């Protein structure tokens, strides 16, 4: 290896490289401004005008994948490129004909099964509300066991009155004892001072 490769560049070499880098940045900024101005002009014009000026067919009327390449030119706005690529998707038999073996080809979400204004008693981090369930169980117990049931006697004798029997409700389960709080233990440290 020669010593010239390891020799640090002098001030003027670094200065020339810096000026060239600044010129390249300015050219890139100017090119970006021109491209933005062209995109703004193309955005104001309709698709039909742009297609007529560039001598292109309607993207939906394309018949072969080779015709899509004409739309991938930088002068064509992105919205027309997107339309042409959508047509390419339908033209290419590998892309257009799904065989049914595609794992993620269908929509497996339950969006069709969602009920509007559905409410739930589930709370994030807490689970299902048990107080709501206990209230429902109490209501069901009182609905199922009325205080008195009437039992009709056979219609053979007209003089007999219906007999009423008081129903005894099933005893409710005893409530569980409330959990007892454990006393807090504190660690105490003693240090011998020497």
Percent of all residues in the chain with a pLDDT value above 70, rounded to a whole number: 73
Q: Where are the chain's structural domains? A: 14-44
**Can you tell me whether residue 151 is helix, strand or coil?**
strand
**Mean pLDDT score across all residues of the chain:** 76
Give start and end residues of each alpha helix (H) in 74-185: 78-91, 93-96, 130-144
Query: pLDDT band at 19, cuts 50/70/90?
Result: very high
Contact 56/30 with Cβ under 8 angstroms?
no
The CA distance from 6 to 1, in Å, is 9
Give start and end residues of each alpha helix (H) in 45-77: 47-54
Does residue 139 register a pLDDT over 50? yes
Q: Which residues pair with 190 in a beta bridge?
A: none
Does residue 122 register a pLDDT over 90? no
**Can you tell me whether residue 127 is helix, strand or coil?**
strand
User: Using CA atoms in the order 42, 48, 53, 56, what is the torsion angle rounded to 10 degrees?
Assistant: 110
Environment class of 91 (CB within 10 Å of its CB; exposed 0-12, middle 13-18, buried 19+): middle
Note the pLDDT tens digit of each residue in 48-103. Answer: 888 888 888 899 888 888 888 888 887 788 888 999 998 988 888 777 777 777 77
Percent of all residues in the chain with a pLDDT value above 90, rounded to a whole number: 13
Does this model's pTM top 0.75? My answer is no
Helix axes 47-54, 78-91, angle to 10 degrees: 80
**Can you tell me whether residue 40 is helix, strand or coil?**
helix
* Alpha-carbon distances, residue 96 vs 83, 88, 135 (angstroms): 15, 9, 57
Between 18 and 118, residue with greater pLDDT: 18
Note the pLDDT tens digit of each residue in 140-154. Answer: 555 454 454 455 545
């Amino acid at each position: 290896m020669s010593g010239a490769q390891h020799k640090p560049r002098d001030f003027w070499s670094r200065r020339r490289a810096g000026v060239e880098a600044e010129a390249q940045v300015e050219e890139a900024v100017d090119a970006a401004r021109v491209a933005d101005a062209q995109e703004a002009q193309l955005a104001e014009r309709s698709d039909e005008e742009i297609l007529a000026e560039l001598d292109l067919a309607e993207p939906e009327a394309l018949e072969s994948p080779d015709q899509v390449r004409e739309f991938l030119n930088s002068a064509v706005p992105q919205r027309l490129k997107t339309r042409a690529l959508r047509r390419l998707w339908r033209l290419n038999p590998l892309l257009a004909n799904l065989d049914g073996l595609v794992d993620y080809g269908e929509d497996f979400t339950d969006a069709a099964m969602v009920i509007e204004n559905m409410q739930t008693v589930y709370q994030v981090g807490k689970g299902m509300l048990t107080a709501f369930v206990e209230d429902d169980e109490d209501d069901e117990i009182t609905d199922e066991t009325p205080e008195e049931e009437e039992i009709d006697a056979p219609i053979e004798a007209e003089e007999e009155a219906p007999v009423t029997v008081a129903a005894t409700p099933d005893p409710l389960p005893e409530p569980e004892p409330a959990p007892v709080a454990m006393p807090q233990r504190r660690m105490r440290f003693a240090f011998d001072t020497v």
